[in-house]
Structure 1
Amino acid sequence: MPDDQKSQAELEELERLVAESDTGGREPAGLTAKLLLGVAIAWSLFQLWYASPLPFIFGVGILNDTEARSVHLGFALFLAYTFYPALRSSPRQRIPYLDWILALAGAFAGSYLFLFYRELALRPGQPTTFDLVTAGAGILLLLEATRRSLGFPMVVVATLFITYTFIGPYMPEVLQHKGASLSKFLNHQWLVTEGVYGVALGVSTSFVFLFVLFGTLLDKVGAGNWMTQIAVALLGHLRGGPAKVAVVSSALNGVVSGSSVSNVVSTGIFTIPLMKRTGISGVKAGAIEAASSVNGQIMPPVMGAAAFLMVEYVGIPYSEIVKHAFVPAVASYIALLYIVHLEAVKLGAKPLPREEVPTKVRLLRTGIGITSIIITLCVLYYGVIAIQAAFGDNAGWPLAGLGALLYVGTVWFASRHPDLQLDDPNSPLIRLPRAWHVTRTGLDFLLPLFVLLWCLMVEQMSPGLSAFWACSTIIGITLTRKPLLALFRRTDILEAMRASAADLMDGLARGARNMISIAVATATAGIVVGTVTLTGLGLMMTDFVEYISGGNVMLMLILVAVVSLILGMGIPTTANYILVATLMAPVIVELGAQAGLAIPLIAVHLFVFYFGIMADITPPVGLASFAAAAISREDPIKTGLQGAVYAFRTAILPFVFIFNPAMLLIGIDHWWEGAISIVTSVIAVMVLAAVMMNWFVTRSRLWETAVLVLACFTLLRPDWWIDRFYPRYVER
């Protein structure tokens, strides 16, 4: 087979992998495709309407949380049955009649609380036979949709918890409960907000959808390619440059993509062949890309979907979660950069050639670039503050006008330069672009990111409202960027307008398709949460885990980590987080307190979150590793094992911040304390990376490795040594 045909076949296989993982593998044609496109767009528009202040301004379409969750699930179930085939042998180009029936039934059952909200509210706790039949059918339809979109493991977990509801009286004493009738179970799980329509589905409805839509639209206008090219320009000339490009571009693309698999495919299709060309083996190239892409979910400000659930479970603003997650995420990425540098040194990997520029000129350019960024950020920050102070509550319109002027100016600036095109990583020559040449073509992409960060971190708006304003900004950019470029370049404006409208429609539809599996996962996880509240399992877990771990906090944490990894092999990160956090987070806090250890609740939830995403790398079911192996043409199990080695430093960090909350900037009263925490954490994980690679300046001897381990432990837990010589201070 010719190379170009082989590459095309591999690309199609990757697209199929992403589709089956994230958006569904079915692509119907004709009228059916238009109908499903309309439904997906309608879902996105509904979510934008619900998150916006418009219903309250016009007094139309005001929904409470329960009604909105019901509509959300109705859309998800309809699209799950139409986009996800029942079997591998099921048709991909058309939808069987049975799937249409199931889709309509799922939409009705999912929307039942919206359609009959008033009637249900007038008779709480008194369901009719029709209510119970609908609830039973809804649970079965939800489980089948889960099987199609997420696989059997999630269905098995949900089924085990459903079974536990009814066999409670026959369980061992430590897990025994009085049981529940079928009508009570159905009412609790489907007709109130304790089960399927609980907190998890509420977060999916209020926050997660809009952040997924934001990332999809941002990628649609070319921000993902722009970020990758910036990473290539900045790091490609370094030793192991392509590997470092993979790390940085995956961190940047984590803002755009909430999926590890799509992150691997979008960046890895360029970086993995490039790494192989510079001397890095295919297994290690795939492992580096997989480890980098999975870590994109822990990188603020836009983290994985499970991070938004912490807002509800921990009860703190999302801006606080971003603050607490910042240091571990940065330390983890710096450690990965150092790992790939050491790997490149060991392998003798060569850097990519770049334009020869005198050192003084390069330093001058770097200084000007950094200074310009600082000045621009200061001008924007203080400018917005000044406008708000001058106009008060009416500052919205002046700020919108200023933003529009900045946007038009940056697009005009970009129009003076050709659009970015990624080089072919398999070509004999890769031309490294200059960083400024890349940056100037996409400065307007920073505007929606600035809006999102400003609303989240400065204005302290809710994540949902912040995402709405960010989505509104990127929708405006999607509609106007190509026409403005055409206007400034004197090309066909009408064609550009048609292309922009098509991009927006496709972005809205893809955003909805990306949400199907997340919505279904959170709804199914609600069954588990509902079982916990119905049976009192949460209270029993303290005694059970204490019995298993013998009251040892470290053993208990290892147990939680193993459970998270095992569950993560079969269920997505979001559902994994919900299950483990619901069952284990309160237990860890309570047993830690009994052992004299004050463990912050946010530390426990981040602990669970970190190990949930690790399962995307670890074999035998690490989807990110499988995607990377498909690009590198290597064995996925070997790629996953190597990726797990690279991800070991991420697995260590949760144990560290459980015992050293300063890494999460908890208990930090002064800026210099925060700076010390950041510096020591970064140095410690870099030393850990050197231990893992058995290489510091050169190959480490045994005693040198021992010294490095001791230094790493001391930097991460300095209080441990103090406690050996002086008794721990206990406040009386």
Structure 2
Amino acid sequence: MSEQAGKNNTLEENQKTTENQDGQDKAPPTTKEARDLVVMVEAGVRDPKSIVARWIIVLLCLAWSIFQLSIAHDPINSHIARIWHLAFAIGLTFLVYPAYKQHSTPFWVSLTQKIIPSFASKSIRKTIPVYDWIFAALGMASALYLWWDFDNLIFRQGMPNQTDIVMGFILIVLLLEAARRALGPALSILAAIFLAYNFIGPYLPEILRHRGIPLDFMISDMYLTTTGIFGVPLGVSVSFVFLFVLFGALLDRAGGGKYFIDVAFSALGTFRGGPAKAAVLASGMTGMISGSSIANTVTTGTFTIPLMKKVGFPGHKAGAVEVAASTNGQIMPPIMGAAAFIMAEIIGIPYLDVVRAALFPALIAYLALLYVVHLESLKMGIKPLPRKELPKFWKTVLRGCHFIIPLAILIIYLVVLRRSPVASALHAIQGLMVIMLVQRPIIAFLSLGYHRKAGTLDPDLDLKRYISGAFVDGLRDLWDGLIMGARNMISVGIATATAGIIVGVVSITGLVGRFVNIIDVLSMGNMALMLVLTAMTSLILGMGMPTTANYIIMATLTAPVILHLGADMGIIFPIIAIHLFVFYFGILADVTPPVGLASYAGAAIARSDPIKTGVQAFYYSLRTVILPFIFLFNTELLMIAGVTAAGGVIWLDDPVRLAWIFFSGLIAMFAFASALQGWLVIKCRWYERLFLLLACATAFRPGVFEVYLPFDRLGMQILGVCMFFAVYIFQKIKVRRFQKFMASRAQEKGE
């Protein structure tokens, strides 16, 4: 669930080194290479040669996963849980993320090497320098100091002693460095600027001025309380996010990711542009469990992108389809991304309500992307794959249907029984662990039966050893899944803790009120301009940091701006709609050039230009760009009927009305996609594209036109849907007339 903006050069190098000198592409990446790409970007690039170093990393990861599972089963004090969570994250960061790239040795390392020739002379990916061991130990010690002296700290809260100040200072500095390593420089620089704002406040212009915060008070608030580093974002990472990331890692290790890809290909491969449509479906299915744009792009893209290129998609478009589909995985219920859990905690609503509100926009976004892929296939004349090249559908479904069990457990506990996300994830993980332990022995047993029946069983085969070996393989899968789940969480834990610094500064200095005034001045009281400024801020910030950190900052700074300025203009937006608005634009930053890491990952697999791939992916994602603006004003898309006087949400519960809202919204998005692509049945003329845009606006925002036409809201939506189908029928008639004309011409020539 994390993306780092500081690994772009590594991805570009990966792409360049996989091309021949004569410009010809090599074979597509193998599954191992793809997994290595995910590890390199998301889980740390180090793979130490030293057995001791390797085992220390493995045991720390294993201990972290076991710790999180134990506190989910038997909860402890939430502050202590956050302390241990950050200790694991910051310690592992310095062990698995180097301080610099091997090819760009910093000045201070070169200078030290001249004095001490042996210093950092070895590969930073295969060895862990002494200073990283020291930083890891100091980072863990400065966090665990709070646990060790917890009772005394409670008594002297607000009155830190000298040791508290020193340990707090060490943790803040090392946390900023850990964020730089794991997430790139953007978040650490932004957090440092906010920290500096504490001290330079008295010297700033009046609109940003404040009295200034003393160093001891700032460190006390950031380090000793739950309003800074150990605040709500880190708390959500401890309680919810780790379990769902671990669930995704275990399911992928068990073979669930490959299963979903195979099902998607067997279901959609025979349609026009089948591999691209299968990429969308597979990314949606894996996105439900991974919540990571990078991991989703690489996991599914390894299989889908080469096949898309094989049937005729250019490399940059094949990569862009996968990137656009994978990025939307963070908005796909039931798991979504890490930010969704933080959203529920910040707003103070059940996570199930976040899922409910996000369902229709996510489904519309994915179905619209399938439609976009279909239009692209029509434009390029791409043919479907022969059925003989694809796996049989029902055989594929039945082969891995046991992977549906843990997902079913999760959904039943979360949606039907309405249990907490923690309890739901814990039960799903337990069910998945059982499957991982028994699936290989069962498969081995069935294989023995098949060979015995066919008469091909080796008489010298040790049956007991064969079955026990399969069980050991299952244990190894479980072991690897627990380790990878922890490694995938390193950057999330660091991101939430670092973002907590920014939240703490905003809380101390009262920056929200000043930010409201700044946006109000810049937007000149115009609601549309204010929303555009907010969206652009989310995109710009998101280009350099993961979605989770981006959302936390935007939820702290810009979400209150939309709420307050909207109220001043007489518009009451539901809080969930506002937070989904900034959430969507944080996700889109994974696509947006020049930093969108998902685009770099897709380009690396497609062997295409990263910027060109990113631009194309953003073009495909424009349907996701307009959705937040639509559901902010048309809250029925979020299943919201209105807002109460107390600020609560009135949910829509009429199934017929909900079905119509979804259908009309989907047709509106189809109209927008056709207008954007310039294609419906055939190429659209300019006036047809304008008519399709009008159909989109009429179905999505019927209230705008109610004043001018004698229709109510429902009537306007029906009109918009009819306008889309009118263009469709019009083009169908044109095609048939042309076909008849060509047939008559051919007949005349034949006569």
The TM tier, using the shorter chain, reads 0.7 to 0.9
Alignment partner, residue 251 of structure 2? 218
Instruction: Give the direction of change, closer, same or farther, for the CA distance of 1:222–1:4 in structure 2 (3 Å limit).
Output: farther
- 1:626: how far off? 0.8
Conserved? CA contact 2:34–2:302, under 8 Å = no
Alignment partner, residue 645 of structure 2? none
Find out whether 1:50 has 2:8 as its counterpart: no
Can you list the C-alpha shifts for 1:425-480, whole angstroms capped at 9, x where unaligned? Answer: xxxxxx21221110111111111111111111122222122111111111121122
Find out whether 1:506 has 2:485 as its counterpart: no
Amino acid at match of 1:690: S
Give distance in 2, aligned partners of 1:215 and 1:484. Answer: 23
Find out whether 1:172 has 2:205 as its counterpart: yes
Give distance in 1, aligned partners of 2:709 and 2:273. Answer: 44
SS at match of 1:313: helix
Amino acid at match of 2:687: W
Give distance in 1, aligned partners of 2:55 and 2:705. Answer: 66
Can you list the C-alpha shifts for 1:561-606, whole angstroms capped at 9, x where unaligned? Answer: 1011111110000000000111111110121121121211001111
Can you list the C-alpha shifts for 1:316-353, whole angstroms capped at 9, x where unaligned? Answer: 11111111101000001111000000000000001001
- 1:10: how far off? 7.7
Give distance in 1, aligned partners of 2:666 and 2:150. Answer: 52
Can you list the C-alpha shifts for 1:287-309, whole angstroms capped at 9, x where unaligned? Answer: 10110110111111110111111
Can you list the C-alpha shifts for 1:170-228, whole angstroms capped at 9, x where unaligned? Answer: 12212111111000000000111110000000000000000000000000110111100
Matches within 5 A, 1:149-548: 149-354=182-387, 431-490=389-448, 492-548=466-522
Instruction: Give the direction of change, closer, same or farther, for the CA distance of 1:705–1:166 in structure 2 (3 Å limit).
Output: same
Conserved? CA contact 1:10–1:631, under 8 Å = no
Conserved? CA contact 2:309–2:318, under 8 Å = yes
Amino acid at match of 1:438: T
Alignment partner, residue 573 of structure 1? 547
Instruction: Give the direction of change, closer, same or farther, for the CA distance of 1:494–1:343 in structure 2 (3 Å limit).
Output: same
Find out whether 1:689 has 2:673 as its counterpart: yes
Amino acid at match of 1:699: K
Conserved? CA contact 1:577–1:608, under 8 Å = yes
Alignment partner, residue 670 of structure 1? 654
Conserved? CA contact 1:169–1:177, under 8 Å = yes
Instruction: Give the direction of change, closer, same or farther, for the CA distance of 1:242–1:9 in structure 2 (3 Å limit).
Output: closer
Alignment partner, residue 397 of structure 1? none
Alignment partner, residue 708 of structure 1? 692
Give distance in 2, aligned partners of 1:270 and 1:14. Answer: 10
Amino acid at match of 1:539: G
Conserved? CA contact 1:149–1:517, under 8 Å = yes
- 1:47: how far off? 0.3
Amino acid at match of 1:82: L
- 1:716: how far off? 0.2
- 1:669: how far off? 4.1
Amino acid at match of 2:165: L
Give distance in 1, aligned partners of 2:640 and 2:28. Answer: 50
- 1:726: how far off? 9.1
Give distance in 2, aligned partners of 1:518 and 1:620. Answer: 22
Matches within 5 A, 1:610-649: 610-649=584-623
- 1:539: how far off? 2.3
Matched residue count: 646
Amino acid at match of 2:53: T
Q: Percent identity?
A: 48
Conserved? CA contact 2:168–2:220, under 8 Å = yes
Conserved? CA contact 1:299–1:325, under 8 Å = yes
Can you list the C-alpha shifts for 1:540-577, whole angstroms capped at 9, x where unaligned? Answer: 22222111111211111111110111111100000000
Give distance in 2, aligned partners of 1:235 and 1:112. Answer: 55
Alignment partner, residue 48 of structure 2? 28
Aligned partner of 2:571 among 586, 597, 603 = 597
Amino acid at match of 1:567: L
Give distance in 2, aligned partners of 1:536 and 1:138. Answer: 24
Alignment partner, residue 61 of structure 2? 40
SS at match of 1:173: coil
Comparing 94-103 and 653-662, the one that deviates more: 94-103
Comparing 72-81 and 531-540, the one that deviates more: 531-540
Alignment partner, residue 392 of structure 1? none
Alignment partner, residue 145 of structure 2? 112
Instruction: Give the direction of change, closer, same or farther, for the CA distance of 1:4–1:215 in structure 2 (3 Å limit).
Output: farther
Alignment partner, residue 743 of structure 2? none
Give distance in 1, aligned partners of 2:712 and 2:382. Answer: 49
- 1:256: how far off? 3.0
SS at match of 2:207: helix
Comparing 544-553 and 142-151, the one that deviates more: 544-553
Find out whether 1:66 has 2:99 as its counterpart: no
Comparing 476-485 and 597-606, the one that deviates more: 476-485
- 1:16: how far off? 4.7
Amino acid at match of 1:691: A
SS at match of 1:454: helix
CA RMSD of aligned residues (A): 1.9
For structure 2, list consecutive stretches of 5 or more residues without a partner in the other structure: 1-19, 103-122, 449-462, 642-651, 714-751
Alignment partner, residue 374 of structure 1? none
Instruction: Give the direction of change, closer, same or farther, for the CA distance of 1:720–1:142 in structure 2 (3 Å limit).
Output: same
* TM-score normalised by L of structure 1: 0.86
- 1:257: how far off? 1.8
Give distance in 2, aligned partners of 1:221 and 1:5. Answer: 32
SS at match of 1:195: coil
Amino acid at match of 2:473: A
Conserved? CA contact 1:452–1:467, under 8 Å = yes
Amino acid at match of 1:675: A
Give distance in 2, aligned partners of 1:726 and 1:240. Answer: 42
Conserved? CA contact 2:289–2:336, under 8 Å = no
SS at match of 2:705: helix
Amino acid at match of 1:27: D
Give distance in 2, aligned partners of 1:233 and 1:326. Answer: 25
Conserved? CA contact 2:368–2:670, under 8 Å = yes
Give distance in 2, aligned partners of 1:7 and 1:145. Answer: 36
Give distance in 1, aligned partners of 2:691 and 2:357. Answer: 30
Give distance in 2, aligned partners of 1:79 and 1:510. Answer: 12
- 1:488: how far off? 3.4
From the CA coordinates, give the structure whose radius of gyration is larger.
Answer: 2
- 1:13: how far off? 6.3
SS at match of 1:111: helix
Aligned partner of 1:139 among 172, 175, 196 = 172
